[in-house]
Amino acid sequence: MEKLTQIAVDRATSLGASYADIRIIETLTEDITVRNGEIADLEQADDLGFGIRVIVDGAWGFASSHEVSKKEIEKVASLAVEIARASSSLKVKDLTLASEDTYQEKWQTPYVEDPFAVSMEEKMGLLLQIDEILRRNSKIKVAESTLSFSNEHQYLRTSEGTYIDQDLMRSGAGYLVHAVDGNDMQTRSYPNSFRGQFMTLGYELVRGLHLVQNAERIREEAVALLSAKPCPSGKKTLVLDGSQLGLQIHESVGHATELDRVLGMEANYAGTSFATPEKLDNFTYGSPLVNLFCDSTIPGGLATVGFDDDGVRAQRWHLVKNGRFVGYQYNRELAHTIGKTRSSGNNRADGWNRIPIVRITNLSLEPGDWEVEDMIAGVEDGVYLETNKSWSIDQKRLNFQFGCEIGWEIKNGKKGDMVKNPTYQSITPEFWKSCDAIAKQKYFVLWGVHNCGKGQPGQRAEMSHGAAPARFRNVEVGVAKG
């Protein structure tokens, strides 16, 4: 692969490219789903291809192919140059790339047990065991359990002299049930909604999630929700579990601080952002307890890599520090727009046939110093909500509403009756400014988001959001209808 990557940059630069890079990517995936006692999905796939980016006359060109050969690489490099030259005739101004050191390195996801080496019999046996437990109540009409694994091997070379060999491993597992009684249907998931928990680990993730041990609890909670009372409505104190808080971080902070979105480059499809450049270092995003940090080096994160697709080394930095808005997520191309001389390392592509764009990295809320029971003890009238069920947020990432699978009333400092169909809504800075307690490090979990969509043509990306439960005062809480 090393020789093939050199052919690409040599060809592109010989044709006039001032910059060129190539990513050759080989991906192996495996997805298994058991639904109601039967195998609903069993897919094993491998994929190989490459994409070449070039800058000619101050404009990007990109082309790709699934045929990895010397002849095809030379052809695609030539096409990328041709596209860039055509694009330059429509440019508003020349693009510039922030400087970055050059690297010749290998990087691999640390893991213990290769999930692709675990027998299919063991994997299927686990899912069928879970399925049998989940369906031990006649009100459970759908039980679905899944395992998912991915191994991506990427070779990146740039015309600046960087050559990086990265081998990325990802595992995921989870299940859900739908309980039905008349016209009412309730859902419970474990360990999280949307197919479970995903991390850059091996099969040790699956072994450590206690999937079998929690199946009975999840089944019984789903059935209990059918007879639970609706969530009370009104302004209340809200305590969110870490998994729901992870999605809250993703939608109201992660997307809001992608610099391409802020600058209007996503306006046609995915919206803009209220966090505009004049607010940087001059805006209160949350209470003084709120510290939100990006970290593409944190162990287990879905966006944990050695380098991004610009060849920028992984790093850690704050977006919000003591409640103040202090940072963005951006790439080499956009760094200069906010006066930065180096990228934050947020450029990633969904495979070899997509051009890299700014993507959310691992973004987390720093833990506080509270025990969860003490946090609840300080609530006279509130709710504790767990596990995301739905979300909606406006184009500027300001007004939002989230629904959760399950909740519990909090009265006079004690967690009480279960409630169903809970929702809450607020405005992003008002919500984060209402945070007055965050649980300790021992409650912190890095929750994986494996299906974040963005871009035209569309791309999927993966990232993680770490959080411990947190408390928010005077939030509008309600009940979903229908």
| Domain end among 227, 257, 280 | 227
Tens-place pLDDT, residues 444-459: 999 999 999 999 999 9
Secondary structure in 3-state letters for 73-119:
HHHHHHHHHHHHHHHHCCCCCCCCCCCCCCCEEEEECCCCCCHHHCC
Q: Which residue has the tokens 């091997």?
A: 153
- Would you call 112 exposed, middle or buried from its count of C-beta atoms within 10 A (0-12, 13-18, 19+)? exposed
Tens-place pLDDT, residues 87-133: 999 999 999 999 999 999 999 999 999 999 999 999 999 999 999 99
Are both 222 and 261 inside the same structural domain?
no
| Domain end among 227, 246, 267 | 227
Are both 197 and 212 inside the same structural domain?
yes
Are both 211 and 358 inside the same structural domain?
no
- For the chain, the domain total comes to 2
pLDDT in tens, the chain (482 residues): 899 999 999 999 999 999 999 999 999 999 999 999 999 999 999 999 999 999 999 999 999 999 999 999 999 999 999 999 999 999 999 999 999 999 999 999 999 999 999 999 999 999 999 999 999 999 999 999 999 999 999 999 999 999 999 999 999 999 999 999 999 999 999 999 999 999 999 999 999 999 999 999 999 999 999 999 999 999 999 999 999 999 999 999 999 999 999 999 999 888 999 999 999 999 999 999 999 999 999 999 999 999 999 999 999 999 999 999 999 999 999 999 999 999 999 999 999 999 999 999 999 999 999 999 999 999 999 999 999 999 999 999 999 999 999 999 999 999 999 999 999 999 999 999 999 999 999 999 999 999 999 999 999 999 999 999 999 999 999 998 75
Number of H helices, E strands in the chain: 9, 24
Residue type, 341: T
Nearest CA to 266 out of 90, 127, 458 is that of 458
| Domain end among 227, 250, 270 | 227
Are both 161 and 238 inside the same structural domain?
no
Are both 166 and 234 inside the same structural domain?
no
pLDDT at 482: 52
- Backbone torsions φ then ψ of 360, nearest 5 degrees: -60, 140
CATH value at residue 22? 3.30.2290.10
Tens-place pLDDT, residues 154-211: 999 999 999 999 999 999 999 999 999 999 999 999 999 999 999 999 999 999 999 9
Nearest CA to 172 out of 144, 204, 147 is that of 147
Are both 222 and 289 inside the same structural domain?
no
Are both 202 and 259 inside the same structural domain?
no
- Which two three-digit tokens encode residue 390? 């739905």
Are both 159 and 300 inside the same structural domain?
no
For residues 390 and 4, what is the distance between their CA atoms, to the nearest angstrom? Answer: 46
Nearest CA to 386 out of 95, 200, 189, 93 is that of 189
Are both 204 and 288 inside the same structural domain?
no
- Backbone torsions φ then ψ of 286, nearest 5 degrees: -155, -175
Are both 343 and 454 inside the same structural domain?
yes
Are both 454 and 381 inside the same structural domain?
yes
- Domain of 81? 2-227
Length of the chain: 482
- Give one word for 57, left, alpha or beta, with left for phi > 0 and alpha for psi -120 to 50: left
For residues 309 and 323, what is the distance between their CA atoms, to the nearest angstrom? Answer: 31
Are both 271 and 191 inside the same structural domain?
no
For residues 479 and 422, what is the distance between their CA atoms, to the nearest angstrom? Answer: 5
What distances in angstroms separate CA 257 from CA 66, 250, 271, 325, 363, one per listed residue? 34, 10, 12, 10, 11
Q: Residue 212: how many CB atoms within 10 A of its CB? A: 11
